[in-house]
Structure 1
């Protein structure tokens, strides 16, 4: 089942076209990872699908309706987004941050209802943040902060959750903490998760569906087994890589070993570097 699609989507910055004629479908109830090199357009696509950016042409369709023709509050009841490196005001507690997720359901400047407070409490518990509920967000570790922001997104009670590189600047333990939380939310609550992922192996381990993007164009789409191929590594990342299989899960993993020749440093560049060191 598919609820969210792009139809002949064009995205531009000023007069520069970044994405042209994009047609993708996001599987409902699955985790989808957008992967690609820096500047490939994956975050731009995510922002447009989440209605942060407006397309130059084409549409993003949710349940057959263009999300860019719906009101902000109506869209916010259907999808939530966690951008890169979100920041909270100094002193804001986890509970206060999570309560912001109830904004789409409030009228005017109304206070939280009993139902709102119940949802906020559930979101805090679901993300394992109960013991930090009264702690200021700026006093949390990186992984804890990410969980707090995910709790805020959950409090919106949307079926679709967008995340733009949710593990950026986190150490390995906190990366796994966040990815395992997203996996749990998908398994237990059937949330559709769409995330931009920098690490190919994280994408393969945790996503059911992968979309590989290069210069705004889809170069591969499907299961990790279908997308994690030597040819896509060459076309999208300009690397030569072997594929190994995770002994625990059997998913394919990328083991890079060389740059494509045209992207490797030339001999003269290497000589200059050696001369500089000497």
Structure 2
């Protein structure tokens, strides 16, 4: 088992069950991508594993203990999450935003220590946001905003980072900018990253481990080569696709060409 895993997890809203009997382990020190059609339960799984949602049954284990039995500050020191489309208060600067990442470590009136300030500065620098430190977040481009939020997550100094579709609504250049940053964080700092990914070729290129979800159930998981197959894509997405090898990386590329015929 990895440092983060679920046992017989069931998640639902009101009387509707979204996820049932989920047993999922996140490989430590790797990038894992959750893929699946819209409404398949990917974001619901991510939020529940991060304790943003409560499971109706089963358990999420973080460092060998139930995540529900740990305090908010305990969890925030181990796991940081970047939700989809986060928004900052108008006029809040990048430095002020990133400073929120030090909340789990603050006591009393929450005064920032020298160590806090050093970590905030490091988080801003490592995400390439140094020149924008004093600029309001709402005045940044999409890619810059996303990097500012990642800097906030990094300031928590956690070994695990969750991201819910971090490249949504970004143009191609900004998508690559964010994905390259995540790759760097994993390679150089061994961060364990779990992200919901919409683009299958991004998942294949940047993730070591892929989990394909359909109606809250794991259909396939493993390396990109094991999951990115015509059979899995047909079942999970209802498409017919050719799989070719990326000439640069050797990773499988998905080339969809028509809808699968229902059988």
TM-score (norm 2): 0.99
Q: Where in structure 2 are the equivalents of 1:57-76 lying within 5 Å?
A: 57-76=57-76
Whole-angstrom distance in 2 between the partners of 1:185 and 1:46: 20
Deviation at residue 258 of structure 1 after TM alignment: 0.5
Q: Where in structure 2 are the equivalents of 1:101-120 lying within 5 Å?
A: 101-120=101-120
Whole-angstrom distance in 2 between the partners of 1:108 and 1:229: 54
Deviation at residue 123 of structure 1 after TM alignment: 0.3
Whole-angstrom distance in 2 between the partners of 1:116 and 1:220: 41
Q: Tell me whether 1:165 sits opposite 2:162 in the alignment.
A: no
Whole-angstrom distance in 1 between the partners of 2:255 and 2:117: 47
SS of alignment partner, residue 134 of structure 1: coil
Q: Tell me whether 1:221 sits opposite 2:221 in the alignment.
A: yes
Whole-angstrom distance in 2 between the partners of 1:189 and 1:261: 45
Whole-angstrom distance in 2 between the partners of 1:138 and 1:186: 28
TM-score (norm 1): 0.93
Q: Where in structure 2 are the equivalents of 1:97-246 lying within 5 Å?
A: 97-246=97-246
Unaligned runs of 5+ in 2: none
Whole-angstrom distance in 1 between the partners of 2:103 and 2:262: 51
Whole-angstrom distance in 2 between the partners of 1:77 and 1:139: 29
Q: Tell me whether 1:79 sits opposite 2:48 in the alignment.
A: no
Match of 1:12 in 2: 12
Match of 1:42 in 2: 42
**Aligned-residue CA RMSD (Å):** 1.0
Deviation at residue 262 of structure 1 after TM alignment: 3.6
SS of alignment partner, residue 3 of structure 2: strand
The size of the alignment, in residue pairs, is 263
C-alpha offsets along residues 201-253 of structure 1, whole Å, 9 cap, x if unaligned? Answer: 00000000000000000000000000000111111000000001100000001
Rg comparison, structure with higher value: 1
Q: Which 4+ residue blocks in structure 1 deviate beyond 2 angstroms?
A: none
Match of 1:25 in 2: 25
Whole-angstrom distance in 1 between the partners of 2:170 and 2:262: 32
Whole-angstrom distance in 2 between the partners of 1:210 and 1:246: 17
Deviation at residue 108 of structure 1 after TM alignment: 3.3
Whole-angstrom distance in 2 between the partners of 1:13 and 1:68: 18
Whole-angstrom distance in 2 between the partners of 1:95 and 1:109: 19
Tell me if the contact between 2:103 and 2:110 (Cα under 8 Å) persists in the aligned partners: no
Whole-angstrom distance in 2 between the partners of 1:34 and 1:101: 25
Tell me if the contact between 2:220 and 2:232 (Cα under 8 Å) persists in the aligned partners: yes
Whole-angstrom distance in 1 between the partners of 2:196 and 2:83: 10
SS of alignment partner, residue 5 of structure 2: strand
Deviation at residue 62 of structure 1 after TM alignment: 1.2
Unaligned runs of 5+ in 1: 264-278
Deviation at residue 199 of structure 1 after TM alignment: 0.3
Whole-angstrom distance in 2 between the partners of 1:254 and 1:110: 49
